[in-house]
Amino acid sequence: MMIKKIISAYFILNFSFFISLKADEGMWLPLLLKQLNESDMKKNGLKLSAEDIYSINKTCLKDAIVQFNGGCTAEVISDKGLILTNHHCGYSQIQAHSSVENDLLTNGFWAMNQKEELSNEGVTAMFIIRMEDVTLKILTGVSDTMSDVNRDKKINENITVLQKEAVVGTHYGAFIRPFFYGNEYYMFITETFKDVRLVGAPPSSIGKFGSDTDNWMWPQHKGDFSLFRIYADKNNEPANYSPDNVPYKPKYHLTVNMKGVKKDDFTMVYGFPGRTSEYLTSYAVDMIMNESDPAKVKIRDARLAIMDADMKSSDLVRIQYSAKYASLANYYKKWQGEINGLKKLKAIDKKRLFEQDFISKAKSDTLANAQYGKLFNEFEKKYKQYSVLNKQRDYFMESILGIEAVGYAFSFTDVIDALTNGKKQEDIQKDIDKLKVAAKVFFKNYNVSTDQKECATLLKIYSTDIVKSMQASVFIDIEKVFKNDFKKYADSVYSKSIFVSENRIIESLDNIGENYLKIKNDPIFQLMQSCYSKFAKDVRPQYNALDDEIARLNRIYMKGMRELITTKKYYPDANSTLRLTYGKVNGYHPRDGVFYDYYTTLDGLMEKENPLSDEFIVSPKLKELYLKKDYGPYADKNGELRIAFCASNHTTGGNSGSPVLNAKGELIGTNFDRDWEGTMSDIMYDPNQVRNIVLDVRYTLFVIDKYAGAGYLLNEMTLVK
Ligand code: ARG
Ligand code: GLU
């Protein structure tokens, strides 16, 4: 009876685990689509060939896909270099052009011609020219018996040589990344544009409607898009900003399909997913869901509450902290969803069963046993040590470095060290000038009193949760002098420090050659140094060493999985390289008795309107269009104006802004979020719960044309009605 129970539990869990590896799961490498996915995709509705999606012989969809500023995705939608991404992806740029007098966050921005477009220092748009499997070349000279240090050294040498060789004499870049935990390597040849201008952004009441309350949730009603344009030099090649630059002529731009989607339509998402960890062991999942995620949530909860209160009481602080707040709030919420999702999936149990299967397969074969038989004993041992250090590291990153002035003081370390070691001010004037420029940037978005409150709170959390022996010496002083009254400590420190005042900093920098001792004794510099040196001595080296050892175990485990468990189609974890995922338009059952439909409408947005909450304000202009039902050609057949839809594509952070394409490769929407019940898909995917959230391209066009009166932009696009 007992045995039968165990077997059937094993079967059900394991079976569902395998099922979950089929439908819609996977972030696939474009150059392997032909081999791995084409027939499955066609079965599911794709009308294109793999070559239409990725090819090195002809122009293809790939040529319209851009990595936007290193973190998001964007797509080319006109032959004049116009690119579409999310509002939240362009948020920092929109914020940077904003002031209390000219608040583009609140009001939106629309260039009415190319001259009015706004340049953005440092923003990049990267295309992939081609990709290549370079595993054999990278692993040349590497053997199984080599030490890890030598292995890494050899691999890095090979990478450096190959990356350089690949692009000599061109204006291209190249990077090589490990896949499957270093069992494979791929090289990417890139072309990166550096003059990327802001063309249009809706007001936050549209682009960020529902803000953090709706973030990571379905149903959602954000018009989460912004428009930029890539500029090139006269040869259509990348160049730094210049008024002489001209709109980039792309190899390919996406056709925009205005027909809308229906349930079960085939969709695919082409973009740059950042990071997933689908092949972790049960030990790692345990650490993440039971220790690391909860700790980070707790710390951010405290920070966000302080920021939120201050932002609500001052417009200046609201603008200063909007981008910082949004970025902290985003993962704060995601981790909570992830914990819930992993629990609901019984992720640890599923992983354990999978591991038992792996171990028993390994044990039944002499060769496999020699390679993998002891693997899990090692994992267990390492994770015991690792989780302790991981906690120290999380707390250092989230709470100590969460104090803005501390992070800022850290940027002075090199200059202070140089002066301490006898360098003259004129020897390092360049670095000092850089600090002056950085001071402007830092203080533009800095509010002392917010940071001071954060400092008191964060230090208190740190001192309560971290064992005494691992605390920096500064905590002993705080106990002695301030009786652990962290508020008193922060008040004292912030009233004296130069690091909280732009004037004091600029003054000190002007003759830092004489002032450096004073800076060294500055209470915030001291706080930073005390915490940092403890971290650098007692946490980081040990953490890094274990990290390397675990990386080695993961490499071996990954190899073993692919050898021993062959019922499964493996895809590499996301690593900010170009991937394609595909799925279907569909709603889902988030919990017992509840079903969510696959699309949302402007009527639904109006239902959420709440003039008392700054997250749910509807602008008079949008309301007017709604009341008149003035939706132009952007309404659905039944007269509704759809805003968003959801589908079962496997996406993650970095996929924001990615084009969502129909079976013919036409643009039907822009990816911008994932559902709450599916946020655990970075660690374990569940086809019943995971949905990507997509802005319907018709709402984008509606906002550009009807709301903003920037319909001239549509003339650049190729529209299918
Ligand atoms: N959750 C989405 C993504 O991960 C949107 C983030 C926008 N930020 C925010 N705090 N609302 O990027
Ligand atoms: N909003 C995410 C991003 O910025 C995409 C949502 C997800 O993580 O799936 O990339």
CB 642 within 8 A of CB 632: no
CB 618 within 8 A of CB 606: yes
For atom 1 of ligand 2, the residue with the nearest CA is: 673
Query: In the numeric block, which tokens belong to residue 389?
Result: 């250090």
Q: Give the separation between CA 478 and CA 458, rounded to whole angstroms.
A: 14
Ligand 1 centre to CA of 555 (Å) is 32
Provide CATH code, domain 30-124+194-272+577-670+682-720.
Answer: 2.40.10.120
Average pLDDT, the chain: 95
What is the CB neighbour count within 10 angstroms for residue 184? 18
Helix, coil or strand: residue 667: strand
Distances (CA, A) of 312 to 17, 315, 320, 446: 46, 7, 12, 15
pLDDT, one tens digit per residue, over 230-250 is 999 999 999 999 999 999 999
Ligand 1 centre to CA of 323 (Å) is 11
pLDDT, one tens digit per residue, over 126-139 is 999 999 999 999 99
pLDDT at 10: 40
How long is the chain?
721
pLDDT, one tens digit per residue, over 35-80 is 999 999 999 999 999 999 999 999 999 999 999 999 999 999 999 9
Q: Is 216 in the pocket of ligand 1 (CB under 6 A)?
A: yes
Q: Is 212 in the pocket of ligand 1 (CB under 6 A)?
A: yes
Ligand 2 centre to CA of 653 (Å) is 4
Q: Give the separation between CA 117 and CA 129, rounded to whole angstroms.
A: 27
Ligand 2 centre to CA of 345 (Å) is 21
Q: Per-residue pLDDT averaged across 516-544, rounded?
A: 97
pLDDT at 19: 39
Residue the block writes with tokens 């996915």: 37
Q: Give the separation between CA 228 and CA 119, rounded to whole angstroms.
A: 9
Question: 23 falls in which pLDDT band (50, 70, 90)?
Answer: low
pLDDT, one tens digit per residue, over 406-454 is 999 999 999 999 999 999 999 999 999 999 999 999 999 999 999 999 9
Query: In the numeric block, which tokens belong to residue 45?
Result: 């509705």
Q: Per-residue pLDDT averaged across 630-641, rounded?
A: 97
Ligand 2 centre to CA of 671 (Å) is 8
Residue 636 has pLDDT above 90, yes or no: yes
Type of residue found at 361? K
Q: Is 214 in the pocket of ligand 1 (CB under 6 A)?
A: no
pLDDT, one tens digit per residue, over 592-621 is 999 999 999 999 999 999 999 999 999 999
Q: Is 103 in the pocket of ligand 1 (CB under 6 A)?
A: no
Ligand 2 centre to CA of 655 (Å) is 6
Mutate to test the pocket of ligand 2, among 671, 676, 679, 693 (most ligand atoms within 8 A of CB): 671
Nearest ligand 2 atom to alpha carbon 681: 9
Q: Residue 176 carries which DSSP code?
A: E
Residue 1 has pLDDT above 50, yes or no: no
pLDDT at 307: 98
Nearest residue to 451 (alpha-carbon basis) of 441, 462, 461, 443: 443
CA 493, chain centre distance (Å): 34
For atom 10 of ligand 1, the residue with the nearest CA is: 326
Distances (CA, A) of 212 to 98, 615, 643, 657, 669: 21, 8, 18, 18, 21
Nearest ligand 2 atom to alpha carbon 334: 8
Confidence (pTM): 0.93
Q: Mind giving me the DSSP string for 338-377?
A: HHHHHHHTTHHHHHHHHHHHHHHHHHTSHHHHHHHTTHHH
Q: Per-residue pLDDT averaged across 158-164, rounded?
A: 98
Q: Which ligand is nearest to the CA of 273?
A: 2
CB 692 within 8 A of CB 651: yes
pLDDT at 320: 94
CB 547 within 8 A of CB 172: no
Q: Give the separation between CA 474 and CA 471, rounded to whole angstroms.
A: 8
CB 224 within 8 A of CB 86: yes
Type of residue found at 547? D
In the chain, what is the straight-line distance between the N-terminal and C-terminal CA atoms, in Å?
A: 63
CB 246 within 8 A of CB 342: no
Nearest residue to 645 (alpha-carbon basis) of 261, 269, 273, 270: 261
Task: Encode 126-149 in three state secondary structure.
Answer: EEEEEEEECHHHHCCCCCCCCCHH
Q: Is 636 in the pocket of ligand 1 (CB under 6 A)?
A: no
Q: Which ligand is nearest to the CA of 67?
A: 2
High-pLDDT (> 70) share of the chain, %? 97
Distances (CA, A) of 57 to 52, 60, 162: 10, 9, 22
pLDDT, one tens digit per residue, over 69-90 is 999 999 999 999 999 999 999 9
Q: Is 656 in the pocket of ligand 1 (CB under 6 A)?
A: yes
Q: Give the separation between CA 470 and CA 463, rounded to whole angstroms.
A: 10
75: Cα within 13 Å, side-chain hemisphere: 30
Nearest ligand 1 atom to alpha carbon 326: 10
Query: In the numeric block, which tokens belong to residue 560?
Result: 């073993």
Q: Per-residue pLDDT averaged across 574-582, rounded?
A: 98
Nearest residue to 674 (alpha-carbon basis) of 688, 687, 691: 691
For atom 7 of ligand 1, the residue with the nearest CA is: 88
Query: In the numeric block, which tokens belong to residue 540?
Result: 């980081």
CB 621 within 8 A of CB 707: yes
**CB-based contacts of 379: which residues, under 8 Å, 6+ apart?**
281, 283, 550, 553, 557
Q: Is 92 in the pocket of ligand 1 (CB under 6 A)?
A: no
For atom 3 of ligand 1, the residue with the nearest CA is: 673
Mutate to test the pocket of ligand 2, among 652, 685, 690 (most ligand atoms within 8 A of CB): 652
Residue 12 has pLDDT above 50, yes or no: no
Task: Encode 182-234 in three state secondary structure.
Answer: HCEEEEEEEEEECEEEEEEECCHHHHCCCHHHHCCCCCCCCCCCEEEEEEECC
Q: Give the separation between CA 394 and CA 159, rounded to whole angstroms.
A: 31
Mutate to test the pocket of ligand 2, among 331, 655, 676 (most ligand atoms within 8 A of CB): 655
For atom 2 of ligand 2, the residue with the nearest CA is: 653
Question: 515 falls in which pLDDT band (50, 70, 90)?
Answer: confident
Nearest ligand 1 atom to alpha carbon 329: 10
Q: Give the separation between CA 631 and CA 643, rounded to whole angstroms.
A: 12
Ligand 2 centre to CA of 648 (Å) is 14
pLDDT at 14: 42
pLDDT at 144: 85
User: What is the dihedral angle through the alpha carbons of 328, 334, 338, 344, rounded to the nearest 10 degrees?
Assistant: 140
Query: In the numeric block, which tokens belong to residue 658?
Result: 């990615």
Q: Which ligand is nearest to the CA of 271?
A: 2
Per-residue exposure over 492-528, b if at least 16 CB sit within 10 Å of its own CB, e if not: ebbeebbbbbeeebeebbeebeebbeebeebbbbbbb
Domain positions in the chain are 30-124+194-272+577-670+682-720, 130-192, 282-543
Q: Is 117 in the pocket of ligand 1 (CB under 6 A)?
A: no
What is the CB neighbour count within 10 angstroms for residue 532? 19
Q: Give the separation between CA 596 and CA 157, rounded to whole angstroms.
A: 52
The set of protein residues with a Cβ atom below 6 angstroms from ligand 2 is: 72, 651-656, 672-674
Scanning 523-660, the segments in alpha helix (DSSP H) are 523-538, 540-564, 602-608, 620-628
Alpha-carbon Rg of the chain, whole angstroms?
27
Q: Give the separation between CA 548 and CA 566, rounded to whole angstroms.
A: 27
pLDDT, one tens digit per residue, over 580-594 is 999 999 999 999 999
**Crossing angle (nearest 10°) for helices 293-313 and 375-395:** 20
Q: Is the dihedral of CA 154, 158, 164, 168 positive or negative?
A: positive
Q: Per-residue pLDDT averaged across 304-332, rounded?
A: 95
CB 295 within 8 A of CB 352: no
Type of residue found at 142? V
Q: Phi first, then psi: give them for residue 226, nearest 5 degrees.
A: -145, 160
Tell me the catalytic residues. Answer: 88, 224, 656
Q: Give the separation between CA 620 and CA 485, rounded to whole angstroms.
A: 49
